[in-house]
Amino acid sequence: MDGYVHIAEHGMVGDLQTAALVSSDGTIDWWCTPRFDSPSVFASLLDGARGGHCGLRAVPEQPKSGTVRQLYLSDTAILITRFMAPEGVGEIADFMVPIESAEPTGRHRLIRVVRVVRGGLAFAFDCRPRFDYARASHELVRPGEDSAVFRGPGTDLHLQAVGPVTLEAVEGDITSRFRLEAGETAAFVLTSDTAGAPRPAAPSAANVAAEFETCNAFWLRWLRRSTYRGRWQDMVNRSAITLKLLTYAPTGAPIAALTMGLPEQVGGERNWDYRYTWIRDASLSVRALLDLGFAEEAAAFRGWLRDRLASGGTASGEPLQIMYRIDGEPHLTEEVLDHLEGYRGSAPVRAGNAAADQIQLDIYGEAVYALAQSGDIGGIREWEDVTKVIDWLADHWDRPDEGIWETRGGRKDFTYSRLMTWVAFDRSIRLATACSRPADVARWTGTRDAIFQQIIERGWHDGRQAFVQHYDTDVLDASILLMPKVGFVPPRDPAWLSTLDAIGRELVSDSLVYRYNPEASPDGLRGSEGTFCLCSFLYIEALAKADRLRQARYAFDKMLTYANHVGLFAEEIGPTGEQLGNFPQAFTHLALISAAVALNDRIEQASDR
């Protein structure tokens, strides 16, 4: 496919500070280190020729005679790629041992273990790093035949081999050709570190085996904390692991997706950098994990969120920015990497995100909702920060904004933004009352009720018999599917059922849901996009809560068929069922969890009647 593997043909491995994508042919074609939002070392996903990669694959005696399969070791983030040929069967285990320290570290280890389980197989290995999004050159240093160091700007990448392997230098890169017989094992350890840091100790087969067991034990131990025992447990577990892998452990901040620049339409310009922490996405991600019993992750994010609330606001005067870097840094200057051709020619490739400067009023509702779900509002100073924000919002809620979808076509009075400001006041009132905290509850209540009345009067369209995208249109928007979830309307209210029917007629295609119709509501960008996986799962949850269980279950089962071979989802589904957009997408996986929990609960309640 033009030298590119499909977006969906990948699994993810990570250590809770960084992560990499491994394609189904055994190639690491995306890795940014030492953090999720660092410049890339391998980025052939965005430019097959220039981006850099680390390949490891079997070479059958007869070309194209083999079969490749990829899977996760059950309930872990250990990725297995199996090569099956007439002369033998081999497999690669890719993994990173989770770093449980609360401190960020410059050293990260990606381990690739290859073994043959039947017969004998030849393998090809090549390591071609391209530092700083392939903008910087590197120096190759050879400490020995089984090791190499790639010295890039600010980062060293150490390569160490274990087993019957000899590394050869070719034009500044490393290659190796070797053969293993049944029972034989080799390993390649990639260690990224700060430039000039001490060289890692030479690994042994015993060391590698011990790290494999440590990684396996971590994930099994972590997943045992899940309280979910319903249907679809495998998919819920995989989504939970994915959300954990996308969370930066030192700060507790989840990122929206691992990648940048992957297109919503192949060849189009809707190519954004999602390696940052959106207040909205992160709040919803943590809420999904909390629904499964992962309280520690929720507490860590609330600490990060409280730090943002206490930071004193932004240069624009807003108390919160819509997104931050994972350490809380607010500056995300967007630049175009015009030396990269983009995935299958999808340009421009952007690093950074100019949407950070947008106004999206819904984030205040999501932030307070995240704090309110557990009832933990922290100490006195934390509550003071919350009240300052809500008092500020009481004066500033009635404004147009860019909305949840970060459109670049001008500010509007988006219904969803008003809905979530209603949530901000409603949940703050509940917190103040339940926890006996000082607050201007009378003013907050009046504001909440004014927002409610405004949505009913201006967000409802009599002609459509539905709530619409913004106050000056009759266009529908799938973000409205969250109305019953946040308690704005009962899930079987006639007005809501009428809205649900309208969305089903206009935005749903074979259970897949579009965000909105960009032709009817121009968003300032060229091209089209696929159906939005988040919205598809929100639709399923809304159907379930409306007791349309047969329709909801059928839609859910169909939606699961769009997961890739290891249970991961990107942002969107294209017209022929292909995955599009950044990958894997936290929004999709958190919505899958929420839909699975809600649907399972409604099925159980119905069976008890």
Mean pLDDT per 10-residue segment, the chain (609 residues): 86 98 97 98 97 96 89 98 96 96 93 98 98 97 96 97 96 97 98 94 96 98 96 97 97 96 91 96 90 91 89 81 94 95 95 92 92 72 91 97 84 96 96 91 98 98 97 96 96 97 95 86 61 97 97 97 98 94 97 97 86
| Cα–Cα nearest to 543, from 588, 483, 497 | 497
- Residue 4 inside a domain? The answer is no
For residue 177, the domain's CATH number is 2.70.98
- Among the candidates 222, 257, 284, a domain finishes at 222
Which pLDDT value is given to residue 560? 97
Greatest CA separation for the chain: 78
Which pLDDT value is given to residue 525? 56
Which pLDDT value is given to residue 185? 98
- Look at residue 537 and give its three-state secondary structure: helix
Which pLDDT value is given to residue 522? 60
- Taking the C-alpha atoms of residue 302 and residue 318, their distance in angstroms, rounded to an integer, is 19
| Cα–Cα nearest to 280, from 435, 431, 482, 504 | 482
Give the number of C-alpha atoms closer than 13 A to the C-alpha of residue 93, restricted to the C-beta side. 22
- Residue 57 inside a domain? The answer is yes
User: In total, how many domains does the chain have?
Assistant: 2
Same domain (yes/no): 200, 243: no
- Residue 2 inside a domain? The answer is no
- Look at residue 142 and give its three-state secondary structure: strand
User: Cβ distance 10 to 583 under 8 Å?
Assistant: yes
- Taking the C-alpha atoms of residue 229 and residue 86, their distance in angstroms, rounded to an integer, is 41
Which pLDDT value is given to residue 409? 74
Same domain (yes/no): 243, 133: no
- Among the candidates 203, 222, 241, a domain finishes at 222
Same domain (yes/no): 235, 207: no
- Taking the C-alpha atoms of residue 220 and residue 520, their distance in angstroms, rounded to an integer, is 48
Residue 579, strand partner residues: 573
Same domain (yes/no): 166, 262: no
Which pLDDT value is given to residue 287? 87
Same domain (yes/no): 93, 153: yes
Same domain (yes/no): 490, 371: yes
Same domain (yes/no): 260, 213: no
pTM of the model: 0.96
Which pLDDT value is given to residue 258? 98
Which pLDDT value is given to residue 376? 63
Domain residues for the domain of 60 are: 10-222
Q: Burial, 213: exposed, middle or buried (Cβ in 10 Å; 0-12, 13-18, 19+)?
A: exposed
Same domain (yes/no): 97, 246: no
Same domain (yes/no): 49, 122: yes
- Among the candidates 222, 248, 264, a domain finishes at 222
- Look at residue 416 and give its three-state secondary structure: helix
| Cα–Cα nearest to 188, from 178, 201, 203, 209 | 203
- Residue 360 inside a domain? The answer is yes
Which pLDDT value is given to residue 381? 85
